[in-house]
Structure 1
């Protein structure tokens, strides 16, 4: 089963993401957009894991949640991977208590290392809006979009989720396997 760990975002953030997406899409840019119901912040992509390993992950992530505090994040503007000159991914960046978000990411890495998962080089919490099929006009449109002001919506992160990603021709479907409260 294809899995990842994620932070859900509130409807207010989903609506801002959707509005941003619609403004950019109006310029007829070539982007494969993430669907509204699939918006999330990835903590760690795990890939294909067995049912047995899923059970081990669930136990370990319960311990992580018990030892990590809740924290505040806020939307911090539009960004691109790898960079704005050759964008491939368009995303909403995060600000706020990033030290606590990093603490969660590092704890996840530390606990999952014993199951054979490699740690992330750096946790860059973001909400992916779409995957760009870039041309010059798309890059110019995205540059203008990045310069526009955005409401700094804040939200509390008090749990994270183990998710299954089911790949379908029309796009991925995400299914929640388990949730882990941040009680630390």
Structure 2
């Protein structure tokens, strides 16, 4: 008997086109400031793939997808739209040497933290758990680039290209998406499984 098909699933906030364009412009700005020898060590995330991961689930049986959708719907019940503010671009993860990513850190948000905890709780009720490294490990960020670590190790830390900069940008969160990741030789590609909207605020309803 064949094993049930599995999909590589994560729960995320997808970004609007205006936000994606602003981040692609930031990527280009950093690229233009880097020395030529750094070019082959960095793989930039394309605009269409920019997102904020809330929970990474990994390989999930096809039959569990509907349960995940219901869990996220339950977590979002009563939750309203909100804004997230960007903080700065840096190497990540923190204290990881050599770094693996160039990412955009977000300001702390009670709304986002509550949302993530509610999603994890609703998933756990269905015995579905993320692969994100623990209960308190969530660090809100948007990955802008991945570094080829084996090449990066050759660079003296004092000579590492500077990427840090403050970012004055905010964006609305109007929905949460369940996404499938397809791993290909050219890099990961993502497809939408389901989008669950947050409730509109009173001000938005009146517009």
TM bucket normalised to smaller: 0.7 to 0.9
Over aligned residue pairs, what C-alpha RMSD do you find?
Answer: 2.2
Under a length normalisation based on structure 2, what TM-score does the superposition of the two structures give? 0.78
1:1-184 equivalent positions in 2, closer than 5 A: 1-26=7-32, 27=34, 28=36, 29=38, 30-83=41-94, 86-95=98-107, 98-114=109-125, 115-118=127-130, 120-133=135-148, 134=152, 135-136=154-155, 140=159, 142=161, 144-146=162-164, 148-150=165-167, 152-183=168-199
Cα distance in 1, alignment partners of residues 121 and 186 from structure 2: 35
Under a length normalisation based on structure 1, what TM-score does the superposition of the two structures give? 0.87
Cα distance in 2, alignment partners of residues 58 and 69 from structure 1: 18
Cα distance in 2, alignment partners of residues 138 and 44 from structure 1: 32
**Greater Cα radius of gyration, structure 1 or 2:** 2
Number of corresponding residues: 180
Any unmatched runs of 5+ in structure 2?
Answer: 1-6, 201-207
